[in-house]
Structure 1
């Protein structure tokens, strides 16, 4: 959580190093099934989720760090719990009251156990937990998967069993596990060691991984924790919130019940965020099925802050039991449309204006995954207003603001989940170079790394879409050409035949318009090799696997 580690935050935007690539390939679920003379395109099952029965919907609660830093204490945690109990937050679904760094002494006791700071926690963590539990809430605690926490207190590396048993004996319900001072030990092994230690206690403890999005954690996190941070630390500014939104938005394929992408705690009520920006953060985090962990002074929160944090219509989107993270439908000129399918067949639609002036943002029912009705119902989730539409969804959205609707009626079009498309001959993934959103950029192959620019979605209309550079783009045959050698590029989705693809059981991907195969140029295997259309010939450079 310290500034000195922020430079490590956005590794998933860069080309993965060899070790990270190996982890991503092992954990991403890419599967190659060989028949006698052809490689078959197989949909691999998703990675098994951590089976501890927790976080079936994204966790909701409070953490003290954003508002208080190291100034944590028993009295602060108990007064916050009491405020949540009486101000509507608990009733709205907030369950966990979480202690962050600086709660312990600088040395373990003679038996090697962690010691709560007696000045800060005179009744110990067990006494604090008992008070929180008496209100019907749950207690969370912080530790680090290194030799020391980010603030320099004892870490759990090498002490996982003892510390897990200690937490369980105190009645802890949630562990946030940070990543400082890790001695270069791979994250997956460090976090797995604590996962196993927690499981061995027999106490249900929600496990929140906080390794700042390093080592493509989303590709292996589901089997280790209930959530994983996808980025570095947030701060209470619009620019920070916006950057983290862009980093998290393309990772929808990895989230689901019991395992969630975590774009960090809410800054609603803090710093320079305006009320409009705070509503945007809350809307976007809910649309992305993110944990909702409030990080403000709850006991002194304004009515506006509490109104934002307890909007039950928006919370219902975050907590929808289908467990789908919303995806970017379009993103042009800083005007974003996101769609999140819901368990009853509705779709939550967020219209987000990143720009500095009011703008009209529009989409359609078809674009967000609904069809088959002459009239749909739109519920504004902030105002509660209900209206009808023949299919157009449009609003005037203030600068940095978000309008959020629930769209009802018709039926869902559905689509396959996102995942990498792997070139069998090269063993590398179909990739948008540099994570650009520039239309006309030719796609290539690159080491599989789990980045958003390598996650492709097959739509019901036969498109292959990718969210790259924050924009949803389609795989496209250049200029509607049908000759061998035509470059394959990304382009704004337009429904034309040169953006429709047939994914075949023999491992080929064929352009509907051209009848030509998706082909790695000249059967090369190096990173950066461009992809084109070519006459189908059965060669390995025309075989692909989808996860």
Structure 2
């Protein structure tokens, strides 16, 4: 790997081309990795210079870092191919900053993007679960397929992604990926995948290691940050495999990707579902829903289906009531399903766990937002900082919030893209702040926008803000909102100079 640190202003193309020539002059076979963090768009010129090139800045062992790098690399699929690869940086699998579920999504994304699978963990210290992820030969086979095509996004909406990678034997690898903090169902058709029309298709789940058949729809119920990876092919003997069945339980949410908030003393609707995407029927389908002690769940539609034909779904709605005395926290909502499949002598049982979030008390008074506990936060580099600017690394490494010479003792330090969410319970009316790029981090490439959302309604948009713009006074009406979201978006240049401050950000409740 040839890094671009301390480059003394030498043009990147010239620097890396000279190194290529020097390596070729040795007469040895050497893999040349270009690491200038995507700043000079190497995907446009480095095909004949190196074998792989970094697409972004450095990855760190966090969900937000991994996802932001993955999404940037997804956009570059057309530039990859045999001998010239997009490199989204090393794998963080096993380093401890993410869950095993998130690491599985991480490994799946890198694999379907035909990215180099460079292990970044100390294998002397990782868990058995880490080895299960890193040693999944069927997923690795997708990554290493000799056709050498990077998987492409064929659909992306609200943090839900469908990526498809053609394979050398005619199969299609497909990844269904849920970026969000709430569960979702994602489906795609064989026709969308580019497969030839057939009576039935063979679907291999590369993580569950099960094989089923479908009439043409491939689907998965995905938990927050979850994914499902399949290998799909047209099959004349489709009937030799059981029908593909997807089971799920979903609660009402305020907006796409929202946390599953349930408020004490109120009821919320959950829906259990059984989807048969195969051609053969299943029978005696029974759904049940179990809730925490003291809560109640009442079916408001039938929970039993004698026969569920192929290509049909069965849904049951449930009224879940939370007691007024419910304590704040995250609680499991457990769905259980049983049914008879034509390929199983015994009843099949499926489990699905959804989640309910009981928030703490809604705020009251005229308050600094930085004194409140947020529901969740994401940040482009490092953590969101409280009452200091963002330093890109660990918590507390930023200095005072300073915008155009004015220092703010209170506020939030973020780096695009960022989002902070607060539970307001309909109690609050207004958000005010002074916003702008931090003085010590101003760069000609700094470019962001600030937004405030009241549930699913955008109530403020700053428009583009660069490093030389005067500080902006922000005022947004959030009356009646259950959740208030403070968002910073990257201006579109993908650079690492977007240190976006929220000075004296207040909320009136």
The structure richer in helix per residue is 1
TM-score when normalising by structure 1: 0.43
Q: Name the structure with the higher strand share.
A: 2
Which one has a bigger Cα radius of gyration? 2
Q: What TM-score does the superposition give when structure 2 sets the normalisation length?
A: 0.46
Q: Relative contact order: is structure 1 or structure 2 higher (C-alpha 8 Å, sep ≥ 6)?
A: 1
